[in-house]
């Protein structure tokens, strides 16, 4: 079974602080994909990143960075120098190649990030 846990329900920071959102996943598959999505108040899910299970290289994109560690089954997301526009709900998700539905996403419950000016 696939499972994603986002233990942090809500996080509040002040602008310019760094913040890390945690994601822990469970899967028995050796080939799988991990995702982060951002959901602003408008509701649309905005794709941020996809990593496959064979690529543990950390990634940086502007103020965003991701730390993938298979040893701890974690895929954490860090925002550096946070801004008010970063306020949103962030979801971590997992999909695996095994099973009847390719690409089926299993989402965590999300972390509400609020950045105060």
Q: Does 28 bind another protein (CB under 8 A)?
A: no
| Tokens describing residue 36 | 């982060």
Q: Which of 1, 28, 41, 42 binds another protein (CB under 8 A)?
A: 42
Q: Does 100 bind another protein (CB under 8 A)?
A: yes
* Closest of 34, 16, 22 to residue 86, by C-alpha: 16
Q: One symbol per residue from 61 to 90: x for binding another protein (CB under 8 A), - otherwise; what is it?
A: ------------------------------
| Tokens describing residue 50 | 């996809």
* Closest of 100, 92, 99, 101 to residue 25, by C-alpha: 92
Q: How far is the CB of 10 from another protein (least distance, A)?
A: 11
């Amino acid at each position: 079974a696939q499972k994603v846990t986002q233990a942090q329900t809500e996080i509040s920071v002040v602008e310019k602080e760094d913040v890390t959102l945690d994601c822990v996943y469970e899967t028995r598959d050796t080939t799988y994909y991990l995702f982060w999505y951002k959901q602003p108040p408008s509701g649309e899910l905005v794709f941020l990143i996809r990593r496959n299970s064979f690529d543990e290289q950390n990634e940086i994109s502007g103020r965003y960075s991701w730390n993938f560690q298979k040893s701890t089954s974690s895929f954490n997301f860090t925002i550096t120098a946070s801004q008010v526009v970063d306020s949103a709900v962030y979801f971590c998700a997992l999909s695996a190649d095994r099973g009847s539905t390719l690409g089926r996403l299993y989402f965590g419950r999300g972390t509400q990030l609020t950045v105060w000016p």
